[in-house]
Amino acid sequence: MQTPLGWRSRGYLPHFDTASGVQHIVFRLADALPASVLKALECSPATDRFDAAEDVLDHGLGSRALAAPPIAALVERTLLHFDGDRYHLWAWCVMPNHVHALVAQSAGCPLSRIVHGWKSFAANRANQILGKTGRFWAPEYFDRVMRGETDAETARIYIEENPVAAGLCARPGAWPWSSASAR
């Protein structure tokens, strides 16, 4: 059954499905944000949560499972697998504890199904590689609709420069699990 376009929520964060827009998606490891930060974010206005969470995520807290090259490469391959079919991936970056994707949905492919596919496949394989069980990803994701080409380009630059801002490399193309290194 196809998810209708527009706003929806599972009781956590609101999400927007669009047939023609581009969205900046961020999803994180289950332990990437400490409970104290999550509680503080609950009290923040919804419009500020994305930016506040991003600031904390760039500190690289938690297990940092995505810093392991086999896991980062797995997540990158997962993002790229249905690129050009279910969605068009404009930019991506696998950080040590979270993932960014700038994506345009294909007709008939709800955003929730796209993100669920990424997270489900990568979590199962990552847990196998790591010899672990249990929750790998946090249950939700952040999404922000781009309001035009300028917003999308700003998001692409932000995504590709995120490893530099976090002190992980000197230039965007030096981070191996990013669209910047694929250019």
DSSP secondary structure letters along 106-169: PTT--HHHHHHHHHHHHHHHHHHHHT--S--B-S--EEEE--SHHHHHHHHHHHHHHHHHTTS-
Query: Residue 40: what pLDDT?
Result: 65
Q: Which residues of the chain have pLDDT under 70?
A: 1-20, 34-62
pLDDT digits (tens, 9 = 90+) for 115-151: 999 999 999 999 999 999 999 999 889 888 888 999 9
Query: Residue 63: what pLDDT?
Result: 81
Domain parsing of the chain, residue ranges: 10-182
The beta strand positions in 4-97, using DSSP E, are 6-9, 14-17, 22-28, 87-94
What fold does the segment set 10-182 form as a domain? Alpha-Beta Plaits (3.30.70)
- Give the H or E element holding residue 73: helix 69-81
Query: Residue 1: what pLDDT?
Result: 39
